[in-house]
A and B are shown apart, each in its own frame.
Chain A
Amino acid sequence: MSTPLFEIDKLSLQYHTNGGAFHALRDVSLTARRGEVIGIVGESGSGKSTLVSAMIGLLSANAYITNGSVKINDTDLLTLSERKRRRFRGHDIAVIFQDPMTAFNPVLPLGAQLIDFQFHRRGVSKRDKRQHAIDTLTHVGIAAADKIMAKYVHELSGGMRQRAAIAAALVMTPDVLIADEPTTALDVTMEAQIIHLLRQLSHDHDGTIIVVTHHLGVIGELCDRVYVMYAGQVVEEGPVDAIYHTPGHPYTTALIDCDLVHLDETPRTLPTIPGRVPDLAPPPAGCAFANRCEKAQTRCFASAPPRVQIAKEHAAWCFRVPGHEVAQ
């Protein structure tokens, strides 16, 4: 197998807070090959946003990476100097940000920003950069793109903004495209359109797309493989179909059960997972999900569960994967 285009290996990260070290990421590993669409799913507080920040090397001042690597084409971004890392950002790895209303600068025209984002294309004239920006906007489905270039972000509609945000990430044709909650800020019809656009992109885009979301439906629509995150750890990984139909981890099962699309009848109350995400300062000794898990045993609280291979490319970190029970 060729080396993956993008690879995160055993990444651990702590936030230093007044309450001690907060273990936001623990041994997170992830690979993405060229042409793949990867999904990262988890509820708020699962470490998704921290993972995105770590991928692009923009962490807050109190964050410390204690272990691991983030590699693009075998270059470890974490060992690079800030100057060199900056050259990767935008050019090799780019993020479609969550809320395009606040993600664009409010006092600069959209076009000026799209031209600025092509900073790393040396020796290209401003006219060509401008034309490229217009082409990219057209590519993401914005009509009359040359008029939009002169607009400010507050003058655009929600869907237009989201498309512009996607265009902003695409102007440098990055190898790794990260979509951070791409549909959270949108209503349902817009969501369908943007998912359609992203799916189209995944066909023409010669790289990898990583979709980060709390919404399983989005993952099902777009992704080839999924990583399920809980309390700063990957608890299950595998192809989308396998995750949906034969989930190995109780947390994945609970997530799917909460997704209304899978319910035959609309319930009177929305299904939820009882309990809450554990405090990660310090993290629990055993499985992080144990306090909310119906199947939890004494050993789940005492020691960390092992990685259990369920099928090719499908694994879960649990003692009690159905059909693969770890002996006591």
Chain B
Amino acid sequence: MLNYTIKRIALAFLILIVVMLGMFGMVFLVPGDPASVALGPRASPELKALLIERMGLDQPLLTQIIKFFRNAATGDLGIDVWSKRPVLDVIMEVFPNTLLLGLVSIGWALIAGIGLGCVAVVYRGTYLDRVLGVLSVSMIAVPSFVIALYSLLIFSVWLGWLPAIGSGEAGDFWSQLRAIILPAFAIGITWVGYLSRLVRASMLELIDAEHIRTARAYGLPERVVVLRYALRVAIIPTIAIIAVGLGGILSSAIFVESVFSRPGIGTLMTSAVQKRNYPVVMGTVLFMTAFYLLVVTLADILIARLDPRVRDVLRG
């Protein structure tokens, strides 16, 4: 188990390093040097040279890479070109908003998805089951920004029930709640589809499973059969998909936050791209990658803790 955990964390770091190298390489592939972009087309060559020297771009490539990694390791992601504040501070300021959106989205998706999945299992083979199946697949198929746009149009513009933009008044719980409903709905609905399909499949598999029959045949009480023998098996795929979901939600947040003009990592990133604010773009990408890896690694370790078969695969 410890062995697996160490391997899994090492793998996460390796992926992170590859992503960072990729990002570093991208800066060099982008036409024009960063100094010209930062200073604009009318900058004098002397000014450019000064900035290049200050940014360390005149140093050998390897030195630059090492410096980049050392800075990133200490949490120094550079300075925001526009506000002149450290990028990490800018990210941390808006990240709680995105995290809250993510948790609320996955939270309601979990409740609704597991609920619908159970309903489908209870009424399996009936029309209701089939209708839920079609509904779930449609939820998966429609992109979240489409849902976001239409729900915005219907509930905010036509009906006027919920605010169209922003994240609500700071400190006012009800105003914040009203502001989070539509974005969380748009992001979560895909996961309702995924989860209900998944829960249905894993429960159906277990209902007929031989080992559940064994536990019953040896007279174990239903409570032990369900909580110890069934749930431990059924929960595994759900944990896996929630982890991927929580990571993936950050990318849907980019669209949904833009649609609702909600402060968050997504809006920060889109505006930084539009303004060619490279340190912020790189900082957010790096931050999101790290966060995604963290969640997925934690989930993998948790799954390995629950399922010995997974452990053996990595042990080789």
Which A91-117 residues have a C-beta within 8 angstroms of B? Answer: 91, 94-95, 97, 99, 102-109, 113, 116-117
A307 an interface residue at 8 Å Cβ cutoff?
A: no
Given A102-B210, A103-B211, A105-B229, A89 and B219 touching (CB < 8 A)? yes
Partner of B219, one of A87, A105, A106: A87
Interface string of B225-258 (1 = CB under 8 A from A): 0001100110010000000000000000000000
B85 an interface residue at 8 Å Cβ cutoff?
A: no
Most central of A56, A105, A154 by chain B CB within 10 Å: A105
Given A99-B210, A119-B224, A107 and B307 touching (CB < 8 A)? yes
B218 an interface residue at 8 Å Cβ cutoff?
A: yes
Q: Is the CB of B209 within 8 A of A102?
A: yes
Given A116-B220, A119-B220, A154-B309, A105 and B215 touching (CB < 8 A)? yes
B29 an interface residue at 8 Å Cβ cutoff?
A: no
Q: Which residues of B contact A94 (CB under 8 A)?
A: 217-218
Q: Is the CB of A89 within 8 A of B216?
A: yes
Q: Which residues of A contact B232 (CB under 8 A)?
A: 105, 107-108
Q: Is the CB of B209 within 8 A of A120?
A: no
B171 an interface residue at 8 Å Cβ cutoff?
A: no
Given A105-B233, A116-B228, A152-B309, A89 and B210 touching (CB < 8 A)? no
B308 an interface residue at 8 Å Cβ cutoff?
A: yes
Q: Is the CB of A58 within 8 A of B213?
A: yes
Q: Is the CB of A105 within 8 A of B211?
A: yes
- Bound form: Cα–Cα A9–B221 in Å: 28
Interface size on A, residues (CB 8 A): 31
Given A106-B233, A107-B308, A168 and B218 touching (CB < 8 A)? yes
Q: Which residues of A contact B216 (CB under 8 A)?
A: 58, 89
A172 an interface residue at 8 Å Cβ cutoff?
A: yes
Which A235-250 residues have a C-beta within 8 angstroms of B? Answer: none
Most central of A88, A102, A103 by chain B CB within 10 Å: A103
A-B contacts, CB under 8 A, total: 81
Q: Which residues of A contact B210 (CB under 8 A)?
A: 97, 99, 102-103
Q: Is the CB of B221 within 8 A of A86?
A: yes
A155 an interface residue at 8 Å Cβ cutoff?
A: yes
A90 an interface residue at 8 Å Cβ cutoff?
A: yes
Partner of A88, one of B219, B224, B228: B219
Partner of A58, one of B209, B217, B307, B312: B217
- Bound form: Cα–Cα A109–B229 in Å: 11
Q: Is the CB of B219 within 8 A of A119?
A: yes
Q: Which residues of A contact B219 (CB under 8 A)?
A: 86-91, 119-120
Q: Which residue of A lies closest to B230 (CB)?
A: A105
Q: Which residue of A lies closest to B308 (CB)?
A: A152
- Bound form: Cα–Cα A88–B218 in Å: 9
- Bound form: Cα–Cα A172–B224 in Å: 18
Q: Is the CB of B218 within 8 A of A172?
A: yes
B214 an interface residue at 8 Å Cβ cutoff?
A: yes
Q: Which residues of B contact A88 (CB under 8 A)?
A: 219
Q: Which residues of B contact A91 (CB under 8 A)?
A: 219
Q: How near does chain A come to B285, taking the closest CB pair, in angstroms?
A: 37
Which B272-316 residues have a C-beta within 8 angstroms of A? Answer: 306-309, 312
Q: Which residues of A contact B209 (CB under 8 A)?
A: 102
Q: Which residues of A contact B229 (CB under 8 A)?
A: 105, 108
Q: Which residues of B contact A109 (CB under 8 A)?
A: 308
Q: Which residues of A contact B312 (CB under 8 A)?
A: 154-155
Q: Is the CB of A89 within 8 A of B308?
A: no
Q: How near does chain B come to A93, taking the closest CB pair, in angstroms?
A: 9
25 A-B interface contacts by CB (under 8 A): A88-B219, A89-B217, A89-B218, A89-B219, A90-B217, A94-B217, A102-B209, A102-B210, A103-B213, A103-B214, A105-B211, A105-B215, A106-B307, A106-B309, A107-B233, A107-B308, A108-B228, A108-B229, A109-B308, A116-B218, A119-B221, A120-B219, A152-B309, A154-B309, A169-B218
The 10 closest A-B pairs by CB, nearest first: A90-B219, A89-B219, A90-B218, A102-B210, A152-B308, A117-B218, A105-B211, A103-B214, A103-B210, A86-B219
Residues on A lying within 8 angstroms of B by beta carbon are 56, 58, 86-91, 94-95, 97, 99, 102-109, 113, 116-117, 119-120, 152, 154-155, 168-169, 172
Residues on B lying within 8 angstroms of A by beta carbon are 209-211, 213-221, 224, 228-229, 232-233, 236, 306-309, 312
